[in-house]
């Protein structure tokens, strides 16, 4: 259901509350008193009670003032069924005279608020005469629906008959999106000519419009900020003016400006409301020019202010505070405590908000919260389910996603396309591509996200042929994300010719300009195939500056094919763009180690230490029974380490009999071969595999498949190890690393050793 925007609510309230409706005549005193009670009830929002009383009046009175009040109340409280029934009742009475101008204006306003623009437009066209309120009501309806062209067409028609007032200007400006900058500036120019630009309603709408359509790339220049210039020129500002400007900064990622403006607003003695706090809290982690400590300190101060002013009783503010603390790296336990200690009623919207926050930081905690939500007898909605499925996608097995899938069906959301898309993603991330395809095939109404999600699933699992076949069946217009998935699939399978053809077709056939993601995929496709010169030329021809992803793709290709000099260039660029990323250091160190140049490798490690850059430790996870077990290289912290190491030694002996030879080419130090092999034996994914074998009798290890999840790419040695182990153990082994799925079975891998 479409809810009217705040701007439209202001327009309808001001425009319609000032109408002097005629006093009913020809009614007896008792009926007149009852009609007054009907109007009082509707004004208080008791729509059903008001209508029940109105329908009991006999004979049915035709009182324009009462009808207008009731239609206005239905529109304000979005009582769709009640509004439609009342209109039908009024028409059924067949009054001698048709509804007057005032009642029809309220009807247009009601249908516009409901999103029934066809009905509103029909009423508008059939009016024998119109006034400025008639035009403004319909313009507002088109604005709420985002139908910019119809909104401007109607606004232009209005200019022939009437001079627009501030409400009409505010409505038409609120419809402007990023692509409508020309329309917006034309309306601004007209407002200037009519001296309405200084009106607070128009100025507030201009601030919002310019915040949406003006995206300042690079360094922020206040002199070029048109929204700020409008705000600064206002003689009078109300709370909505301040909120619009703060929200505008937040929308454009200018968190520091939003925070500074709020501080100025507070110090000047201006009040604030819930909307102010939500915008400021959302700006916390979008402050590029504030240090983390400064933002955290401000968050503490704002938290104290919300307690003093009682806004922590608002569940939306409490949820926003939790998200701010979580985004700033606050302790997850403190975030949960803040939410749990909130004394206000926690509805499904609040729970969905907190689950969303935790799903980005700690998926397991998000799932705990979801279970707690269900225990409180709250019914999850489609948005809750989609967030939970996103969290489950980070786990190693699909059984949790299956459980949520059953709840989705029970809740009656089986035909929901958004949830189907989330299920496809969750199953694919767990390695169950067959379940993803089953959900995809069962979708009744496909959108572009459905196709993109399935294409991404095939790419993740290395099924490039299936991805290309699916693309050939795609019956909706592809978008930018479609081609990222296709190019990723080609990259994982080494399909250079197909990848190049797809990349070229983006602009030529689909008029989609390739962006950084597409160039990164294309560099990866060429580089992995050994076409390093072509990959370097593509980087040099890019119409935009390459980002860290592009340089890391080129660096990985150079590492694979031993192009040391170009790798140094790519690594240096990567260090400049992402100074905290260890990839550039690690890749160069590995290259030098492969060449036996341990001196240079040591210097790279020393530089990395001097820059205080830490390599992300390799971790693996496996689910046994109802518990997720984490392993790090060496497995020193696992309680069953001795048993695991003993079983691992037995497995290595058997694999060596099958031809396993440890690949020690990437060992950092020039040490004894025995010590190099010892380091390789205790990589985290090997320990996770052995632990699964030991617990083979457990509920989810009794099957033929073992699923392991990693946070970094699998190394060559572990890849060889898993291939041989799958053959020896007669088991399917799934390893999801940071880049893709590896499905090992019968001594081969789904990637065909191309990763």
Token couple for 576: 């400049």
pLDDT of res. 287: 59
pLDDT of res. 5: 38
Please give the residue that has the higher pLDDT: either 597 or 293: 597
The pLDDT tens digits for 226-285 are 999 999 999 999 999 999 999 999 988 888 899 999 999 999 999 999 999 999 998 886
Token couple for 459: 């790419």
Q: What is the C-alpha separation between 714 and 631, in angstroms, rounded?
A: 14
How far is residue 147 from each of residues 109, 151, 260, 664, measured CA to CA in Å? 16, 6, 35, 63
* Cβ proximity of 429 and 460 under 8 Å: yes
The pLDDT tens digits for 296-318 are 888 889 999 998 988 877 888 88
For residue 515, pLDDT beyond 90: yes
Token couple for 308: 């003093």
Please give the residue that has the higher pLDDT: either 93 or 565: 565
Token couple for 704: 């033929």
Band (22; pLDDT cuts 50, 70, 90): very low
Band (221; pLDDT cuts 50, 70, 90): confident
- Beta-ladder partners of 624: 627
For residue 548, pLDDT beyond 60: yes
The pLDDT tens digits for 687-716 are 999 999 998 865 555 466 899 999 888 988
DSSP codes, 245-285:
HHHHHHHTT-HHHHHHHHHHHHHTT----HHHHHHHHHTGG
Q: What is the C-alpha separation between 504 and 496, in angstroms, rounded?
A: 12
pLDDT of res. 11: 34
Band (550; pLDDT cuts 50, 70, 90): very high
Token couple for 427: 């199953």
Please give the residue that has the higher pLDDT: either 148 or 532: 532
Band (553; pLDDT cuts 50, 70, 90): very high
The pLDDT tens digits for 366-396 are 888 888 888 888 889 888 999 999 888 877 6
Nearest C-alpha neighbor of 532 from the set 503, 565, 563, 501? 563
Residue 728, phi then psi, degrees to nearest 5: -70, -45
Nearest C-alpha neighbor of 543 from the set 515, 521, 565? 515
Question: Which of 215-224, 657-666, 718-727 is the least confident region?
Answer: 215-224
CB 489: neighbour CB atoms within 10 A? 31
pLDDT of res. 111: 94
H-type alpha helices, 268-362: 274-282, 292-309, 315-327, 332-340, 348-361
Q: What mean pLDDT is predicted for residues 629-654? A: 86
For residue 552, pLDDT beyond 60: yes
Question: Mean pLDDT, the chain, as a whole number?
Answer: 85
How far is residue 567 from each of residues 578, 585, 615, measured CA to CA in Å? 16, 11, 19
Band (624; pLDDT cuts 50, 70, 90): confident
Give the best-scoring range by mean pLDDT among 179-188, 406-415, 476-485, 560-569: 476-485
For residue 739, pLDDT beyond 80: yes
For residue 63, pLDDT beyond 90: no
Token couple for 439: 């959900």
Coil, helix or strand for 241?
Answer: helix
Coil, helix or strand for 40?
Answer: helix
* Cβ proximity of 559 and 530 under 8 Å: no
For residue 59, pLDDT beyond 80: no
* Cβ proximity of 725 and 733 under 8 Å: yes
Nearest C-alpha neighbor of 488 from the set 568, 428, 418? 428
Give the chain's end-to-end CA distance (angstroms, integer): 46
What is the value of pTM for the model shown?
A: 0.69
CB 158: neighbour CB atoms within 10 A? 20
Domains assigned to the chain: 34-171 (1.25.40.10), 619-749 (no CATH)
DSSP 632: E
Contacts of 150 (CB under 8 A, 6+ apart): 142
pLDDT of res. 81: 92
Question: Which of 95-104, 197-206, 427-436, 485-494 is the least confident region?
Answer: 95-104
Band (3; pLDDT cuts 50, 70, 90): very low
Q: What is the C-alpha separation between 90 and 498, in angstroms, rounded?
A: 64
DSSP 702: S
In three-state form (DSSP H/G/I as H, E/B as E, the rest C), the secondary structure along 42-93 is HHCCCHHHHHHHHHHCCCCCCCHHHHHHHHHHHHHCCCHHHHHHHHHHHHHC
Residues 107, 110, 116, 121, CA torsion sign: positive
């Amino acid at each position: 259901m479409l809810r009217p925007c705040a701007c439209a609510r202001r327009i309808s309230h001001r425009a319609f509350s000032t109408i002097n409706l005629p006093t009913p005549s020809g009614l007896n005193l008792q009926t007149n008193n009852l009609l007054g009670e009907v109007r009082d009830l509707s004004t208080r929002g008791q729509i059903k009670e008001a209508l029940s009383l109105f329908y009991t009046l006999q004979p049915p009175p035709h009182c324009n003032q009462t009808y207008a009040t009731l239609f206005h109340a239905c529109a304000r409280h979005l009582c769709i069924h009640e509004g439609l029934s009342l209109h039908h009742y009024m028409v059924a009475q067949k009054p001698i005279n048709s509804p007057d101008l005032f009642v029809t204006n309220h009807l247009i306003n009601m249908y516009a608020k409901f999103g029934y623009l066809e009905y509103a437009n029909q009423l508008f066209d059939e009016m024998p005469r119109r006034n400025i309120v008639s035009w403004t009501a319909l313009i507002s309806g088109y604005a709420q629906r985002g139908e910019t062209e119809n909104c401007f067409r109607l606004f232009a028609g209005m200019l022939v008959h009437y001079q627009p007032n501030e409400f009409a200007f505010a409505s038409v400006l609120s419809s402007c999106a990023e692509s409508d900058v020309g329309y917006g500036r034309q309306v601004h120019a007209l407002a200037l000519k009519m001296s309405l630009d200084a009106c607070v309603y128009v100025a507030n709408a201009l601030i919002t419009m310019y915040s949406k359509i003006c995206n300042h790339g690079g360094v922020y220049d206040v002199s070029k900020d048109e929204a700020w210039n409008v705000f600064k020129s206002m003689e009078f500002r109300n709370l909505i003016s301040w909120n619009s400007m703060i929200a505008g900064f937040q929308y454009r990622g200018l968190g520091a400006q939003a925070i500074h403006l709020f501080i100025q607003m507070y110090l000047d003695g201006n009040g604030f409301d819930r909307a102010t706090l939500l915008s400021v809290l959302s700006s916390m982690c979008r402050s590029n020019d504030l240090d983390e400590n400064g933002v955290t300190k401000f968050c503490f101060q704002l938290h104290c202010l919300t307690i003093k002013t009682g806004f922590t009783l608002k569940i939306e503010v409490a949820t926003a505070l939790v998200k701010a603390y979580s985004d700033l790296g606050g302790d997850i336990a403190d975030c949960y405590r803040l939410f749990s200690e909130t004394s206000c009623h926690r509805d499904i919207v609040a729970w969905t908000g907190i689950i969303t926050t935790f799903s980005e930081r700690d998926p397991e905690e998000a799932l705990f919260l979801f279970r707690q939500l269900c225990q409180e007898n709250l019914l999850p909605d489609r948005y809750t389910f989609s967030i939970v499925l996103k969290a489950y996608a980070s786990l190693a097995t699909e059984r949790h996603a299956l459980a949520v899938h059953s709840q989705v069906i029970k809740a009656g959301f089986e035909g929901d396309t958004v949830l189907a898309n989330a299920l496809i993603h969750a199953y694919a991330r767990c390695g169950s591509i067959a379940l993803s395809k089953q959900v995809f095939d069962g979708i009744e109404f496909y959108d572009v996200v459905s196709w993109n999600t399935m294409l991404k699933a095939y790419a993740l699992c290395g099924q490039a042929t299936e991805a290309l076949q699916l693309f050939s069946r795609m019956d909706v217009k592809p978008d930018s994300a479609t081609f990222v998935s296709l190019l990723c699939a080609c990259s994982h399978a080494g399909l250079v010719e197909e990848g190049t053809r797809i990349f070229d077709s983006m602009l030529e056939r689909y008029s989609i300009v390739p962006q950084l993601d597409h160039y990164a995929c294309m560099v990866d496709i060429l580089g992995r195939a050994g076409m390093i010169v072509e990959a370097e030329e593509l980087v040099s021809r890019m119409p935009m500056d390459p980002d860290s992803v592009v340089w890391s793709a080129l660096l990985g290709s150079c590492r694979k094919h031993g192009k040391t000099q170009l790798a140094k260039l790519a690594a240096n660029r990567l260090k400049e763009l992402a100074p905290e990323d260890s990839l550039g250091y690690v890749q160069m160190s590995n290259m030098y180690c492969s060449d036996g140049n341990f001196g240079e490798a040591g210097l790279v490690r020393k530089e990395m230490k001097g820059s205080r850059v830490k390599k992300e430790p390799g971790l693996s996870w496996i689910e046994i029974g109802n518990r997720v077990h984490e392993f790090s290289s060496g497995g020193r912290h696992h309680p069953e380490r001795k048993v695991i190491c003993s079983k691992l030694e037995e497995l290595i002996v058997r694999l060596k009999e099958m031809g396993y030879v440890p690949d020690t080419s990437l060992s950092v130090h020039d040490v004894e071969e025995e010590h190099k092999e010892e380091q390789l034996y205790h990589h985290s994914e090997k320990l996770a595999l052995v632990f699964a074998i030991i617990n083979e009798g457990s509920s989810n290890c009794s099957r033929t498949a073992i699923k392991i999840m990693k946070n970094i790419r699998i190394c060559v040695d572990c890849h060889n190890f898993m291939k041989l182990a799958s053959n020896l153990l007669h088991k399917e082994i799934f390893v999801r690393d940071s880049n893709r799925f590896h499905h090992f079975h019968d001594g081969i891998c789904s990637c065909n050793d191309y990763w």
